[in-house]
Structure 1
Amino acid sequence: MAIRGVKDKVVIAGMGCTRFGDRWECSADDLIAEAAGAALASAGIGIEDVDAYWLGTFSSGNSGLTLTSALDVGYRPVTRVENYCATGSDAFRNACYAVAAGAYDVVMAIGVEKLKDTGHAGLVVPGPGGDGTAPGFSGPAPFSMLAPAYAHRYGLSERQIRTTLTHIACKNHANGARNERAQFRVPVRPEQVENAPLAAGMLGVYDCSGVADGAAAAVITRPGLAADPLYVKALSLSAAPADGATAPGFDYTSMPEAVLSARAAYAAAGITDPPAQLAMVELHDCFTPTELVLYEDLGLSPRGAGWRDALDGRFDLDGPIPVNPDGGLKSFGHPIGASGLRMLYECWLQLRGKAGGRQLEGGRGLALTQNLGGRPGASVSFVSVVGAEAG
Structure 2
Amino acid sequence: MASHGIKDQVAIVGMGCTPFAEAFGKSTDDLLIDAAQEAFASAGVGKDTVDAYWLGTAQSGMSGITLAKPLQLHGKPVTRVENFCATGSEALRQASYAVASGAYDVAMAIGVEKVKDSGYQGLNAFPIPNDGTARTLTAAAMFSMVAPAYAKRFGVDEASLREALARIASKNHYNGARNPRAQFRREVSSEQVCAAPPVAGVLGVFDCAGVADGAAAAIVVRAEDAHRYTDRPLYVKALSFVAGNGSGLLDPDYDYTTFPEVVACARDAYAQAGVTDPRHQLAMAEVHDCFTPTELVLMEDLGFAERGTAWKEVLAGTFDLHGELPVNPDGGLKSFGHPVGASGLRMMFEAWLQLRGEAPAERQIDTVAERHLALTHNLGGYPGEMVSFVGIVGTERG
Same fold (TM over 0.5): yes
More off after superposition, 149-158 vs 130-139: 130-139
User: Take 2:271 and 2:237, find their aligned partners in 1: how far apart are those partners?
Assistant: 10
Q: Deviations over 1:142-187 (max 9, x none)?
A: 0000111101111111101100000000000000011000000100
Which amino acid counterpart does residue 397 of structure 2 have in structure 1? Answer: A
Listed as ranges, the matches of 1:163-312 within 5 Å are: 163-226=163-226, 227=230, 228-312=232-316
Which stretch of structure 1 is more off in the superposition, 286-295 or 130-139? 130-139
Separation (CA, whole Å) in 2 of partners of 1:268 and 1:279: 18
Deviations 1:297-354 (A, max 9, x none): 0000000000000000000001010000000000000001000000000000000000
Within-5 A mapping of 1:141-152: 141-152=141-152
> Is 2:360 the counterpart of 1:360?
no
Q: CA deviation at 1:225?
A: 2.3
Instruction: Please tell me whether residue 389 in structure 1 is matched to residue 396 in structure 2.
Output: yes
Question: Once the 2 structures are TM-superposed, how far is the Cα of residue 268 of structure 1 from its aligned partner?
Answer: 0.5
The residue that corresponds to 2:325 in the other structure is: 321
Identity %: 61
How far does residue 223 in structure 1 lie from its aligned partner after superposition?
1.5
Note if contact 2:141-2:201 (Cα within 8 Å) is conserved in structure 1: yes
1:211-264 per-position Cα deviation (integer Å, ceiling 9, x unaligned):
100000000111132223100000100111112332122100000000000000
- Counterpart CA distance in 2 for 1:130 and 1:261 is 29
Where in structure 1 are there 5+ consecutive unaligned residues?
none
Question: What is the match of residue 370 of structure 1?
Answer: 377
CA contact (8 A) 1:175 1:325 kept: yes
Determine helix, strand or coil for the equivalent of 1:165: helix
Whether the 8 Å CA contact 2:242–2:387 is kept in 1: the answer is yes
Amino acid in structure 2 at the alignment position of 1:202: V
Residue 9 of structure 1 aligns with which residue?
Answer: 9
- Hey, what's the Cα distance between the residues in 2 that align with 1:69 and 1:76? 11
- Displacement of 1:123 after TM fit? 2.6
Q: Following TM superposition, by how much is the alpha carbon of 1:289 offset from its aligned partner in structure 2, in angstroms? A: 0.3
Q: Which residue type is aligned with residue 137 of structure 1?
A: L
Partner SS, residue 238 of structure 2: strand
Post-superposition offset of 1:139: 2.1
1:112 Cα deviation after fit: 0.2
Contact 2:249 2:385 in 1 (8 A): no
Q: Distance in 1 between matches of 2:382 and 2:120?
A: 18
Q: Bigger CA drift: 240-249 or 76-85?
A: 240-249
Matched position secondary structure for 1:69: helix
Distance 2:127 2:272 in 1: 34
TM-score by length of 2: 0.97
Quote the RMSD (CA, aligned, Å). 0.9
For 1:293 and 1:181, how far apart are their aligned partners in 2? 27
Q: How far apart, CA to CA, are the structure 2 residues paired with 1:75 and 1:265? A: 35
| Cα separation, 2, equivalents of 1:53 and 1:292 | 35
> What is the distance in 1 between the residues matched to 2:251 and 2:128?
21
Q: Give the Cα–Cα distance (whole angstroms) in 1 for the partners of residues 65 and 214 of structure 2.
A: 18
Question: Which one-letter code corresponds to 2:253 in the other structure?
Answer: G
The separation in 2 between residues aligned to 1:99 and 1:128, in whole angstroms, is: 35
Q: Where do 1:335-350 residues align within 5 Å?
A: 335-350=339-354
CA deviation vs aligned residue, 1:84-135 (integer Å, no higher than 9, x gap): 1000000110010100100000000000000101222223213543332221
Alignment partner, residue 387 of structure 2: 380
The AA in structure 2 aligned to 1:324 is N
Letter in 2 for 1:163: E
User: Which residue identity lines up with residue 373 of structure 1 in the other structure?
Assistant: G
Query: What is the alpha-carbon distance in structure 2 between the residues aligned to residue 224 and residue 128 of structure 1?
Result: 46
Question: For the residues of structure 1 that align with 2:113 and 2:36, how far apart are their CA atoms?
Answer: 14
- 2:354 is paired with a residue whose SS is helix
SS at match of 1:233: strand
Which range moves more in the overlay, 256-265 or 242-251?
Answer: 242-251
Q: Distance in 2 between matches of 1:235 and 1:132?
A: 37
- Does residue 1:330 correspond to 2:334, yes or no? yes
| Contact map agreement 1:56 1:82 (CA 8 A) in 2 | yes
Higher mean C-alpha deviation, range 201-210 or range 116-125: 116-125
C-alpha distance in 1 between matches for 2:43 and 2:142: 41
Q: Which moved more, 1:68-77 or 1:255-264?
A: 68-77
Aligned ranges 1:120-135 → 2 under 5 Å:
120-135=120-135
Kept after mapping to 1: 8 A contact 2:176/2:330: yes
Deviation of 1:21 (Å): 0.9
Contact 1:8–1:223 under 8 Å retained in 2 = yes
1:122·1:139 contact (CA, 8 Å) conserved in 2?
no
Structure 2: which 5+ runs fail to align?
none
Cα distance in 1 between the residues matched to 2:323 and 2:191: 23
Query: SS of 1:179's equivalent?
Result: coil
